[in-house]
Structure 1
Amino acid sequence: MNMTEAQSYCREKYTDLATIDNMEDVNLLTSMADLSRMVYPTYSYRAWIGLYDDVNSWRWSLSDRSFYTQEEAEFRNWYSGEPDNYNSREHCAWITNDGQWNDVFCDVLRTAVCMDVRGSNVTFVFISKTMTWTEAQSYCRANHTDLASVRNMEENQKVTELLPSGQSVWIGLFRDSWKWSDGSNSSFRYWNEVEPNGNTENCVAADFSGSGKWEDWTCGQRKAFICYIAKKTKKVVRVRLMKKSSSLDLNDPPVMEDILRELKQKLKDEGVDGDVKLSWRKQSDGKVFHKEKETEKKTTKKRDEL
């Protein structure tokens, strides 16, 4: 199957495409691989695993959603043909002095543009110090608000006007790179030599003719694949939230996603181990959150006091 078909099959029949956490997993899969059933017209003995490159996950370093309208959050001014994810390793963005953007390796040394946000006022500041993208992000957050978010052509022009001739500088746009299909946070990697190396090869297969090492491939290739099944326990918990802002819509999908992310981090900080998946349960009207009635508040308060 191709990668998408394999993922659907694994999720329907098992848990998901395989997440590989360590060399023990690699050795187990290598011992299980039946090479006689993995012969293709070209490049035999490969099988899909659950790792993929999330090429459409571009977002701004400043994550405060109230800072952007939907259109502003998605504003881009890429060069023609960009982003191209050269060698599968371009996860950060810079702007050149002609105002156009490019995706590049995040560990390149460049100057940066930070921003100071004061209410509705945004001021951009050129930083002459050369840094990697991560270093620039830390510098801007320590000394200003964050790396520059560019929300429209007017702000793009303001940033461009700050740049010395011929310079390319970091802005706050970046993306996630390799992710597991099941959402696991496993950082284990077992790439073959010179891999990953393809700008359109966004899915990963293990090569069982070569000790199970990994290669990036175009996702439409048809290969064998590896599923896994996990033991699961499920618990439903009711959550009460106090809104800090009356304008915040708790049923807005991005807001719910942010809350889940914070809850998952809280569980991790409290020492909860393992692969924990959180999701919202919708009520009959399709909503997750409902405003609590006054009588319910009093009952809850009394129960808490007891």
Structure 2
Amino acid sequence: MDHRFTRMTLLFFGFTISACSIVREFYYINIAKTWDEAQQYCREKYTDLAKIESEEDISKLRAVFPYNWVWFGLRDDPKSWKNTIGTDANSWRWSTTGETGKTNYHSWSPGEPNYGNARETCVVMTSTGQWADRRCNLQQNFVCFKITEKNKKEYVYIPVKETWSSALTYCRTHHRDLALIENVAENAEAQRAIPTGGEVWIGLYRVPWTWSDQSQTSFQPWYYTSLNNVGGKQHCGTENKLHQWADEDCSVRRAFICHRGDI
């Protein structure tokens, strides 16, 4: 281990972020810890691992930063989305509700979902009736649903290849929404609506990455080659001295950034 990490160096650079009379202060901590250990440290001594939400925040972090990569508070915890339909902000949600945790049913294929190459956040039904995550910009046939006069779901197969978002628009224009599947019987009905093999879009998707406090952000300045989920185990956020972000194995030991106060 580098000798720098044999002692703690606490560097407070005197910058703050103010909004609604609340001040957020950032601290670089020169101790090598895993992401979970860094989170615990920050919560015990400050408020949390650093939450960085805008270019303005980034501009206030441009103090001397001697470390190659450090932990900060962004994470895409697989316990929230792997083999489950969870309730956390980065869990799976159905397009018809846009909310997580509205149904517990799932039918994942073995090894799915896997967030492959940090790009797969939309869901297909495979020819076996099981589900898998895929890149949302792929062109796939899809299944919509509508509600019958007897208040039951009816699934409609659309043999037109579209991206997930274009399929969603089509289903909302001509039917109700992309397929919402909430139990075994409905999954079988949706599968029967598909006349041929292959994969089809259904209405399940997720928005990856949350802050340590479980809130989400659309601000994510990833380094252009860094978001890739190498080995399927890079689920924590790191930042370099240019304040560019990358995903990393959460068990790696790094220095880190805490903040005190919140907005």
TM-score (norm 1): 0.63
2:51 matched to which residue of 1? 19
1:46 maps onto 2:69 in alignment: yes
Q: Where do 5+ consecutive residues of structure 2 fail to align? A: 1-32, 82-90
Q: Aligned pair 1:97/2:97, yes or no?
A: no
1:91: how far off?
Answer: 0.7
Structure ranking higher in strand proportion: 2
How big is the shift at 1:129?
2.6
For the 8 Å contact 2:209–2:216, the answer to whether it is kept is: no
One-letter amino acid of the counterpart of residue 12, structure 1: E
TM-score for both structures, normalised by structure 2: 0.73
Alignment counterpart, residue 95 of structure 2, candidates 56, 61, 67? 61
**Identity %, equivalent residues:** 39
Q: Is 1:222 aligned to 2:253, yes or no? A: yes
Partner of 1:265: none
Residue 16 of structure 1 contacts residue 228 of structure 1 at CA under 8 Å; is this kept in 2? Answer: yes
Q: How far apart, CA to CA, are the structure 1 residues paired with 2:64 and 2:260?
A: 16
| 1:28 to 1:218, Cα distance in 2 relative to 1, 3 A | same
**By how many angstroms is 1:15 displaced?**
2.5
Q: How far apart, CA to CA, are the structure 2 residues paired with 1:31 and 1:141? A: 49
1 CA distance for matches of 2:205 and 2:135? 10
Once the two structures are superposed, the pairs formed by residues 108-187 of structure 1 within 5 Å of their partners are: 108-118=138-148, 120-187=151-218
What displacement does 1:185 show?
4.8
- Structure 1 segments unaligned to the other structure (5+ residues): 36-44, 232-274, 276-306
RCO (CA 8 Å, sep 6+): is it higher in 1 or 2?
2
Structure with a larger share of its residues in helix = 1
Partners of 1:187 and 1:156 in 2: CA distance: 32
Q: Residues 141, 8 of structure 1: CA spacing in aligned structure 2 closer, same or farther, 3 A cutoff?
A: farther
Equivalent residue number for residue 298 of structure 1: none
Q: CA RMSD in A?
A: 2.4
- Quick one: distance in 2 between partners of 1:112 and 1:206? 38
What is the CA distance between 1:112 and its match in structure 2? 1.2
1:5 corresponds to? 37
